[in-house]
Chains A and B, each alone.
Chain A
Amino acid sequence: MSYVDGNAIIGALSLALGADTGRATVVCAACGHDHPVAEAHVYLRCPGIVIRCPDCTNAEIILIEIEHRFLLTITGVARIEFESGTQT
C-alpha cells in the first residue's frame, strides 16, 4: 500500500485536537524519533487513517472520522507538541 505524508491529515487532526497542528511534532513511542507530523507516513485507505513513524514504521496514531465523531488512538505516540493558539 502506498503512503502519503502527514500533510494530508493535518485538517482532521487539528479538528480532533482543537488546535492548529500544522507545525506539530511527535515523539514515536517505539523508537523515540522526533519528527514533524507532516513527515509521518500516512496510510489513508485502511479502515481509518494510520499514521506511522517515518523511521521505524510504528503506528503512532490511528484516526477515524465518522460524521461528527472522532476515534483517536494515540498509544504509538510518546509525546505530541503543538501550539495552543492562545498567544496573541
Chain B
Amino acid sequence: MTNLDTPPPRPVATRTVRRALSWRHATLADTIAETDTARTLIFDIPDWDGHIAGQHLDVRLTAPDDYQATRSYSLSSGPSEQPQITVERVTDGEVSPYLVDMIEPGDAIEIRGPIGGYFVWEPIRGNPLLIGGGSGIAPLRSIWRAETGTRAIVLYSAQTAERILFGDELAAGTEVDARIHLTRATHPDYESGRIGADDLQRVIESAPPDVTYVCGPTAFVEGIASYLVNLNIDPRTILTERFG
C-alpha cells in the first residue's frame, strides 16, 4: 500500500537546477516515423543524466528574424534510455511541423530539462494505471518502460488505427497490457468509441491502482478524471497532464 505522506523525490540542488533548466543545445541523433502524422526524435544531450518517468523537455526554435517559439514535449523514452520525444503534427502549428517534417539527424536544437516533479512515477508510488488520449500516450510510455514488476495497464484513446503511437509495442504486450479505443473509426482489433465510465470501472475492479496518470487533450483529461472521482478513486492519487 502506498503511503501518500511519503516524502517527495530527492530535491535537486540549486546549481543542478540552473544547469538542467537552462537552455542548451542538443543534437538530433535519429528519428522514427511513428505514423503519417507523428515522429519520434532521439537526441544526444550533453550532460544528460537520465530522467524520471513522466518528465518532459522544453524545446525552443528561433526563426531567422529572431522570433522564438517554445513548446513542451514529454520524454517517451524510459528513464535510463537515450532521451526521445514523440511529436504529433498539429495543423497550423508553429513548432510541430518543423519537428515532424523538417529537422534531420545532425541538426542542433535548443532544449531544457528534464522538467517535472508532479506528473512523474517512481517505484515508491506503487502500481500505476495509465490513461492516454492521442499524443498523451507519450509520457505514459516513459512510465511503462520504467516499470519493473507487473505489466502496466494502459487505456488509450486514439482517433483511428493509423494514428496509434507505439502500436507494435502495445500489441506485443510484454511490458504493458493495453486496451485501445478508437473514437473516429472502427477496427476489428480495437474497441469502438470513447473510454467510458464502465471501461474504467472494469479495469479498477480487476486491478485497483495505487496511482493513476491521465494525459491528453484537456477535455479528455477532465472527463476521465471526473469519471475516476465518481468511481471513488482518491483524487490525491490522480495525476493529470493536459496538452490543450
Residues of A at the B interface (CB closer than 8 Å) are 2-8, 10-12, 14-15, 18-23, 36-39, 44, 65, 67, 83-88
CB distance from A39 to the nearest CB of B (A): 7
Instruction: Please state if A38 and B17 are interface contacts (CB–CB under 8 Å).
Output: no
Q: Which residues of A contact B16 (CB under 8 A)?
A: 85
Enumerate chain A residues within 8 angstroms of B243, measured Cβ to Cβ: 4
Docked complex Cα distance between A11 and B241 (Å): 15
Contact across chains for B17 and A12 when beta carbons are under 8 A apart? no
Tell me which of B6-14, B75-83, B99-107, B200-208 binds A.
Answer: B6-14
Complex CA–CA separation, A12 to B8 (angstroms) = 21
B241 contacts which of A7, A67, A86 (Cβ < 8 Å)? A7
Closest 10 CB pairs of A and B: A22-B117, A38-B118, A23-B117, A11-B115, A5-B242, A11-B58, A83-B11, A4-B244, A85-B14, A15-B21
Query: Are B11 and A4 interface neighbours, CB within 8 A?
Result: no
Chain B residue numbers with a CB within 8 Å of A37 are 118
Query: Measured between alpha carbons, how far is A10 from B226 in the docked complex, in Å?
Result: 24
B120 to chain A, nearest CB (A): 8
Contact A3 B218 (CB under 8 A): yes
Which residue of the partner chain B has the closest CB to A9?
B72
Contact yes or no, B117 A15, CB < 8 A: no
Assembled-state Cα–Cα distance A23/B125 (Å): 15
- Tell me whether B242 and A4 are in contact (CB under 8 A): yes
- Does B121 sit within 8 A of A, measured CB to CB? no
Chain A residue numbers with a CB within 8 Å of B112 are 11, 15
A8:B240 contact, CB within 8 angstroms: no
